[in-house]
Amino acid sequence: MYKLKKINGEKVYECGDSKIRVLIDKKKLASRVKELGREITRDYKDKNPVLISVLRGSFIFVADICREIKVPVTFDFMAVSSYGNSKVSSGIVRITKDLECSIENRDVIIMEDIVDSGRTLNYLVKNLKARNPKNMEVCALLDKDVPRKTVNKIKYKGFDIPNKFVVGYGLDFAEKYRNLPFIGYIENE
Ligand code: IMP
Ligand code: MG
């Protein structure tokens, strides 16, 4: 069982032996997701974009934001792996599940949970651009403050966050914590 505690006024969840400190709570997530949905609705008026959800981390974000987008959208899913069970990216991006549909001549929005080194996003943009979409933009819930060489522009960004390993709201550490309803970081790790 996850247990909520308040330590010096800060919310901390005890999850077995780990403590998870809340970075972005449920309310802040919901209101920012709503705003992003509004921006996409405005920019895609009279269009039918395809949302490409990058599995598995983005599944909750996509499920929430799609209901704030008031134009018809279609969905496709792609899975890539670069981390294994570690907190540090291996640097090698591998497609473990490809799209089901063609994106040729479509308005594509890549839906990412988090951009860390930017390697995954750079790889995805390059790979998907080669399939000739009409237009392609990136929507990412979190943008981590790490030094990077070149990273594709995130047009729709939820939050800038410090360089910490975060979990919850779809994001995991070794497949755990995805179902936490907030974004937090594991203390003392
Ligand atoms: P990048 O290639 O280093 O930008 O890493 C991107 C991918 O790694 C994201 O799509 C996440 O799935 C995963 N990732 C990066 N940082 C975190 C984190 O802090 N928590 C959980 N997953 C992360
Ligand atoms: Mg991801």
Q: Is the CB of 138 under 6 A from ligand 1?
A: no
Say if residue 84's pLDDT is above 80: no
Say how many CA atoms lie within 13 Å of 23 toward its Cβ.
21
Percent of the chain surpassing pLDDT 70: 95
Contacts (Cβ under 8 Å, ≥6 apart) of 54: 78, 79, 80, 110, 111, 112, 113, 120, 124
Pocket test for ligand 1, best of 87, 114, 127 (most atoms within 8 A of CB): 114
Rounded to 5 degrees, what angle do the CA atoms 178, 140, 153 make?
A: 150
Residue with tokens 């959800």: 53
Closest ligand by atom to 144 CA:
1
Instruction: Provide the token pair at 90.
Output: 């291996």
Q: Quick check: pTM over 0.85?
A: yes
> What 3-state DSSP class applies to 26?
helix
Residue to mutate, 53, 85, 86, 113, ligand 1, most ligand atoms under 8 Å from C-beta: 113
Ligand minimally distant from the alpha carbon of residue 143: 1
Is any ligand 1 atom within 6 A of the Cβ of residue 89?
yes
Q: Which atom of ligand 1 is nearest to the CA of 83?
A: 8
Q: Give pLDDT tens digits for 116-137.
A: 999 899 999 999 999 999 999 9
Assign 86 a pLDDT band (cuts: 50, 70, 90): low
Indicate if 116 belongs to the active site.
yes
pLDDT (0 to 100) of residue 22? 95
